[in-house]
Amino acid sequence: MLDRRWRKLAFLFFPVSVLLVIAMAILRTGIDPDQAAEIIYLGWACGLTLLNLSKEKVEDEMIKTFRLQAFHTGFFWLMCGLVAVLAVNYYRYGSIHAEAVSAGMVLFLLNLYVWAAFEYQKWRSNEQNPS
């Protein structure tokens, strides 16, 4: 697990990736929309990865269990989401387009689902056991 100080760097990845794409568009580098989306996906995936791997204020057995469950749940949601994306592409184009599902998008979705599942579990725990 990473130290909590990594969270500050994680939060920088979200706006920096968008600002990088905007700067590239302003400088007329010829970036196409697919490349721009890939840069944003990868920046956000890096940020969410750092958030998912950084320690909580109190890292006890319950948090470790929540983290493990979040990774399982996130992977399940990823599989469901990818099936949905492929089904929509098949319906829309009549075939499955490989370029619609990129590595950056998959990493972003996986880390987003894991982060969401972990935060949801912490919220539910606080709702059930108010301090």
The per-residue pLDDT for range 72-93, each reduced to its tens digit, is: 999 999 999 888 888 888 888 8
Residue 1 lies in a domain: no
Q: Give Cα 76 distance to the centre of its chain.
A: 14
The per-residue pLDDT for range 10-58, each reduced to its tens digit, is: 999 999 999 999 999 899 888 888 889 899 999 999 999 999 999 888 8
Domain hosting residue 72, numbered range: 6-128
Cβ-based neighbours of 56, under 8 Å, separated by 6 or more: 4, 63
The per-residue pLDDT for range 20-29, each reduced to its tens digit, is: 999 998 998 8
In the chain, how many domains are there? 1
Q: What is the pLDDT of residue 22?
A: 93
